[in-house]
């Protein structure tokens, strides 16, 4: 039985305990079990089966409030996330300041698969510059590894999970080797218009990269590249690749995919890992501490079984935390001992420091060219057929902010929702009656939205720590957040607004709402984009970083981190693909050390 | 509860000028429970199942008239009330969430204003007005930038009510058909825009 209860797990011998079941934990469990290690995965939330539970074809009139977002379901009723959001009942976090601009809102998903159930599936590689940002502009930190170290793992992850895209040969926007990418979906008419008119402004518009199978994975050739010399692993993944369906061009990915055509940990990483027979999973296991042995090594973890409320300790030869950057930090800081009075792995005092999110700002416009078009199906892969990579590397230093952003955009005649045909007064002059119905038809599908996603530079004022007083309902001390954007981020957000307005205008369109020229108003609050990384950064020096280049804590040799916590920078590229590539890299290293009997 | 939403709402409420007359009233809050973070997604829900509804018979009559003034039946599709939009509005303003509670105040006060205005101008309840009389009132409040000062609050109500009516209407099968939405069905391939579409926008 792969899904087991806490008592059974406590009596079993494991090589590695993996805390967390999302992108980092899923990849870790996959690579370790394929490599022969016996793994226990602990997930704080409930079990979740997207094949049985995903509400794919449900339409808004079947849902409460027509599926509108609520504080319970911030991304709409049918969003696949359950037991998650910016607030989780009974599990608070606190803000160090009452200043609204200094708050960090922490998104969590307490469920098997974690945030991979919800994410946008945007899968961009960091480029060579993104690993060495300090060398380029003197700000933030370099990674102790470079693009060449990560590239083979990007290749593998793309082949394993299935990522569509194209190779455009653009600066710091890496191409993938032959055989890695699936073909991109055909652009929508709105994409083609952005391509044409943004192109006239010198802004490149290229195929998006998302983890969606635009055709079946290459189960004949990829397995040997993924697991050279390991026929058992090749057979397992070939069989699983055959079972995953290709996209059938309907339903939003965020509602989950029962045919397994997109990546979420539960449909891609966990099934083959379970097929090895080497993986056990305990859900509802709220890990609060990594326990320390007398030899100074991690002896295992301690967790609270949320169903029985019992305290349980489990041991293993090595522990990997992949609980999401902030939860990993929380576990480390709550793991106090005489040897590590300020938390495990925290000799540097850097645990919790350099927390980052992504700079976000958006703006939409109405495009007369798109009005009253002949009806046609525009669902496609439900997002990002095309995008704009950062295009002004040559202008760095002249823009007033150091780092770049990419632009995600989208239009189309989508499934009407509660926002459809609303807020039209600025176009209609306040029509109602028969005229309003005509206006609704005319403007439906004529809007294009632009969202900037930019790099935040780590700073001393953005971090989390343990709140000295507040505990959650399990009695576990909670995180307290400190947050501050620098001008590098706020100016970038203002630049995004101007760029979006320029593109909309070039398309002959009209901007909807206000173009925010004040960056402090243009920028989304910290945590909004849900790209939390940092907090336990990797480096070459034990005094200034928490983990070494292998994401092994400097203090405890058999404790590794495999989520976004070790990121020393947060490139504009969405972090998930890099979390997976890095996790595979770390997993390979753990396997090697185990073979050398070092763990 | 999402603190950010709550705070956003509180700030917006604090920034809004105090209404006068019926718009200053604050209706009783609903005490119902939210559906929580792990609701059954595959159930089909109907208004009134998760929390009790609000509209009295009189409020319902007025709400129906206004819905259908905004989205009347035409050759393409039925009226808003014919596809359950009044039930949706009632579900919406009865929901235990901050955004919906804000709309509860706007909608209940607005419907009351409409009743009073109808009585004041025509000595009749709203549902007895003829089309010309109803439009006389609607024309005064349908576009906030041009509303006279004494109609500003009513125009804010109308804008919100029109949005909610549209939300309710276009999320029904009849509303989707009206907009000629095509989708929510599996396809063997995705072929992109047809040639006639590309021609129309100058891309072919």
In A, minimum Cα distance to B87 occurs at: A65
| Closest to A361 measured CA to CA, from A253, A273, A236, A490 | A490
Minimal C-alpha gap between B138 and chain A (Å): 9
* B11 burial type by CB count under 10 A (0-12 exposed, 13-18 middle, 19+ buried): exposed
Chain-centre distance of CA B159, in angstroms? 9
A422/B100 Cβ within 8 A: no
Mean pLDDT of chain A: 97
Whether residue B46 has pLDDT greater than 80: yes
CA B103 to chain A, closest CA, distance in angstroms equals 13
Does residue B42 have a pLDDT over 60? yes
Residue B190 lies inside a defined structural domain of this protein: no
Q: Could you tell me which of B174, B157, B175 has the C-alpha nearest to residue B166? A: B175
* Span A562-580, pLDDT tens digits: 999 999 999 999 999 999 9
Mean pLDDT of A542-562: 98
Segment A409-434 shows an average pLDDT of 97
B189 to chain A: which residues are within 8 Å by CB?
249
Distance of residue A192 Cα from the nearest chain B Cα, in angstroms: 8
Does pLDDT of B1 surpass 80? no
What burial letters (b/e) apply to A55-91, b meaning 16+ CB within 10 Å?
Answer: bbebbbbbbbbbbbbbbbbbbbbbbbbbbbbbbbeeb
Residues of A within 8 A of B162 (CB-CB) are 422, 432, 436
Contact B39 A87 (CB under 8 A): no
Q: Residue B89 falls within a domain, yes or no?
A: yes
Separation in Å, CA of A136 to nearest CA in chain B: 37
The burial class, CB within 10 Å (0-12 / 13-18 / 19+), for A297 is middle
- Residue B12 banded pLDDT, cuts 50, 70, 90: very low
Q: Torsions phi, psi of A505, nearest 5?
A: -65, -45
Considering only the beta carbons, identify the residue of B42, B182, B201 that sits closest to A189.
B201
**Alpha carbon of B195: minimum distance to chain A alpha carbons (Å):** 10
Q: Is the pLDDT of residue A116 over 80?
A: yes
Contacts of B166 in chain A (CB under 8 A): 420-422, 436, 440
Judge whether A456 and A572 are in contact, CB under 8 Å: no
Are the beta carbons of B194 and A376 separated by less than 8 Å?
yes
Query: B100, A46: Cβ pair inside 8 Å?
Result: no
**pLDDT exceeds cutoff 60 at A366:** yes
Chain B residues closer than 8 Å to A86 by CB: 2-4
Number of domains in chain B: 1
Structure-block tokens of residue A393: 């590397």
Residue in B77, B84, B192 closest to A187 by CB: B192
* Residue B140 falls inside a structural domain: yes
Please report whether residue B201 resides in a domain.
no
The share of chain A scoring above pLDDT 90, in percent, equals 98
How far does the CA of residue B176 sit from the closest CA of chain A (Å)? 7
Beta bridge partners of B20: none
Contact A191, A370 (CB under 8 A): no
Average pLDDT over residues B118-133: 97
- The residue with tokens 């490139």 is A571
Residue bearing tokens 């969606």 = A212
Question: In which band, very low, low, confident or very high, does the pLDDT at B7 lie, cut at 50, 70 and 90?
Answer: very low
The alpha-carbon gap from B85 to the nearest alpha carbon of chain A, in Å, equals 10
Full set of structural domains in chain A with CATH = 1-165+209-355+460-483+533-599 (3.50.50.60), 187-208+359-454+486-522 (3.30.410)
User: What are the tens digits of pLDDT across the range B164-197?
Assistant: 999 999 999 999 999 999 999 999 999 999 999 9
CB atoms B201 and A421 under 8 Å: no
How distant is the Cα of A417 from the closest Cα of chain B, in angstroms? 6
Query: Looking at the domain assignment, is residue B18 inside a domain?
Result: no
How many secondary structure helices (H) and strands (E) does chain A include? 17, 21
Mean pLDDT for B63-84 is 98
| Inter-chain touch A418–B171, beta carbons under 8 Å | yes
Q: How far is residue A201's CA from residue A203's CA, in Å, rounded to a whole number?
A: 6
Percent of chain B with pLDDT over 70: 90
* Position B14 in a domain: no
A260–chain B nearest CA distance, Å: 14
Exposure letters A158-192 (e unless 16+ CB within 10 A, then b): bbbbbbbbeeeeeebbbebeeebbbebbbbbbbbb
Nearest residue on chain A to B91, alpha-carbon basis: A65
Provide mean pLDDT across the span A530-556. Answer: 98
Residues of A in contact with B34 (CB under 8 A): 70-72
**Residue B40 maps to a domain:** no
Q: Looking at residue A599, what is its pLDDT?
A: 87
Q: Which of B194, B169, B196 is nearest to B77 (CA)?
A: B169
| Cβ distance of B72 and A419 shorter than 8 Å | no
Partners of B159 on chain A (C-beta within 8 Å) are: 425, 430
pLDDT class of A320 with cuts at 50, 70, 90: very high
Residue B106 is part of which domain span? 50-181
Which residues from A are below 8 Å from B71, CB to CB? 433, 436-437
List all residues of chain B from 118 to 157 with a beta carbon under 8 Å from chain A: 135, 138, 142-146
Residue B187 forms contact with A (CB below 8 Å): yes
- Is there a contact between B176 and A415 if contact means CB atoms under 8 Å apart? yes
Q: Do B190 and A70 touch (CB under 8 A)?
A: no
Q: Would B43 be classed as within a structural domain?
A: no
The arithmetic mean of pLDDT across residues A149-163, rounded, is: 98
* pLDDT for position B20: 61
Say which of B2, B45, B143 has its CB closest to residue A430. B143
**By the 8 A CB rule, do A226 and A268 touch?**
no
Q: Please state the rounded mean pLDDT for residues A136-149.
A: 98
Query: What is the average pLDDT across A81-88?
Result: 96
CB neighbours of residue A435 within 10 Å: 12
B34 touches chain A (CB under 8 A): yes
Partner A contacted by B31 (CB < 8 A): no
List the single residue in A66, A418, A436 with the smallest CB-CB distance to B70: A436
Q: Which residues contact A514 (CB under 8 A, 6 or more apart)?
A: none
Give the per-residue pLDDT at B27: 83
* Residues A444, B200: C-beta atoms closer than 8 Å: no
Q: What pLDDT digit, counting tens, does each position of A233-265 carry? A: 999 999 999 999 999 999 999 999 999 999 999
**Mutation test of the interface with chain B: which of A48, A54, A56, A72, choosing the one with the most B Cβ atoms within 10 A?**
A72
Residue B84: count other Cβ atoms within 10 Å of its Cβ: 17
Whether this model's ipTM surpasses 0.85 comes out as yes
pLDDT at B31: 83
Confirm or reject contact between B170 and chain A (CB < 8 A): yes
CB contact under 8 Å between B171 and A416, yes or no, is yes
Side-chain half-sphere of A240: how many Cα atoms within 13 Å? 26
Facing residue for A432 by CB, picked from B2, B138, B203 = B138
């Amino acid at each position: 039985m792969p899904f087991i209860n806490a008592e059974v797990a406590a009596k079993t011998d494991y090589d590695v305990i993996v805390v967390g079941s999302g992108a980092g934990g899923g990849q870790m469990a996959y690579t370790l079990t394929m490599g022969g290690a016996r793994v226990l995965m602990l997930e704080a939330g409930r079990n979740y089966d997207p094949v049985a539970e995903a509400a794919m074809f449900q339409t808004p009139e079947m849902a409460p409030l027509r599926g509108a977002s609520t504080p319970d379901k911030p991304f709409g009723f049918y969003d696949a996330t359950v037991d998650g959001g910016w607030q989780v009942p009974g599990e608070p976090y606190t803000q160090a300041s009452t200043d609204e601009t200094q708050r960090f809102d922490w998104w969590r998903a307490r469920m098997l698969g974690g945030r991979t159930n919800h994410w946008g599936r945007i899968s961009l590689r960091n480029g060579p510059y993104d690993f060495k940002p300090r060398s380029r502009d003197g700000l933030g930190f370099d990674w102790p590894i470079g693009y060449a170290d990560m590239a083979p793992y990007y290749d593998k992850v793309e082949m394993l999970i299935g990522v569509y895209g194209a190779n455009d040969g653009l600066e710091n926007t890496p191409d993938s080797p032959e055989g890695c990418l699936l073909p991109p979906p055909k652009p929508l008419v709105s994409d083609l218009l952005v391509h044409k008119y943004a192109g006239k402004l010198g802004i490149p518009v290229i195929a998006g990269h998302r983890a969606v199978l635009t055709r079946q994975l290459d189960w004949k050739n990829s397995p040997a590249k993924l697991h050279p010399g390991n026929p058992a692993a090749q057979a397992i993944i070939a069989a699983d690749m055959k079972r995953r369906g290709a996209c059938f061009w309907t339903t939003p990915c965020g509602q989950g995919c029962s045919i397994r055509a997109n990546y979420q940990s539960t449909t891609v990483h966990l099934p083959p890992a379970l097929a090895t027979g080497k993986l056990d999973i305990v859900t509802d296991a709220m890990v609060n501490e990594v326990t320390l042995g007398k030899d100074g090594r991690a002896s295992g973890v301690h967790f609270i079984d949320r169903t029985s409320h019992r305290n349980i300790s489990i041991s293993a030869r090595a522990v990997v935390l992949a609980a999401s950057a902030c939860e990993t930090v929380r576990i480390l800081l709550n793991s106090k001992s005489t040897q590590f009075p300020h938390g495990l792995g925290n000799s540097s005092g850097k645990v919790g420091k350099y927390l980052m999110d992504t700079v976000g700002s958006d703006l939409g416009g109405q495009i007369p060219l798109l009005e009253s078009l002949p009806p046609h199906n525009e669902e496609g892969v439900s997002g990002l057929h095309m995008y704009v990579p950062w295009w002004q590397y040559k202008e760095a230093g002249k823009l007033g902010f150091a780092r770049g952003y990419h632009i995600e955009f989208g239009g189309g005649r989508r499934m009407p929702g509660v926002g459809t045909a609303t807020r039209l007064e600025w176009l209609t002059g306040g029509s109602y009656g028969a005229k309003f119905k005509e206006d609704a038809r005319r403007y439906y599908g004529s809007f294009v939205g632009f969202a900037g996603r930019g790099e935040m530079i780590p700073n001393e004022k953005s971090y989390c720590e343990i709140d000295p007083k507040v505990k959650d309902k399990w009695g576990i001390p909670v995180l307290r957040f400190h947050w501050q954007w620098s001008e590098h981020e706020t100016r970038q957000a203002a630049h995004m607004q101007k760029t979006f307005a320029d593109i909309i205008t070039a398309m002959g369109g009209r901007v909807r709402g206000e173009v925010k020229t004040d960056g402090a108003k243009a920028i989304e609050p910290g945590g909004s984009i849900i790209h939390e990384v940092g907090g336990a950064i990797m480096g070459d020096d034990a005094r200034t970083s928490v983990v070494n280049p292998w994401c092994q804590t400097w203090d405890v040799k058999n404790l590794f981190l495999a989520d976004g916590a070790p990121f020393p920078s947060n490139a504009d590229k969405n972090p998930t693909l890099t979390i997976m590539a890095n996790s595979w890299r770390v997993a390979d290293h753990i396997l090697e050390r185990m073979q050398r009997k070092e763990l | 509860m999402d603190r950010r939403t709550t705070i956003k709402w509180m700030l917006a409420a604090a920034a809004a000028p105090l209404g006068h007359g019926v718009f200053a009233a604050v209706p009783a809050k609903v005490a119902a429970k939210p559906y929580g973070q792990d609701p059954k997604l595959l159930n089909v829900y109907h208004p009134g199942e998760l929390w009790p509804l609000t509209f009295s018979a009189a409020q319902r009559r007025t709400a129906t008239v206004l819905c259908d003034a905004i989205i009347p039946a035409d050759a393409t599709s039925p009226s808003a009330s014919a596809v359950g939009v009044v039930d949706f509005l009632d579900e919406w303003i009865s929901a235990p969430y901050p955004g919906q509670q804000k709309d509860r105040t706007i909608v209940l006060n607005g419907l009351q204003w409409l009743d009073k205005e109808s009585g004041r101008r025509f000595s009749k309840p709203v549902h007895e007005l003829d089309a010309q009389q109803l439009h006389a009132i609607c024309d005064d409040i349908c576009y906030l930038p041009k509303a006279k000062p004494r109609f500003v609050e009513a125009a804010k109500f109308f804008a919100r009510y029109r949005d909610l009516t549209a939300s309710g209407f276009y999320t029904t099968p009849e509303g989707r058909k009206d907009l000629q939405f095509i989708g929510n069905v599996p396809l063997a391939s995705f072929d992109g825009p047809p040639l006639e579409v590309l021609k129309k926008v100058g891309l072919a």
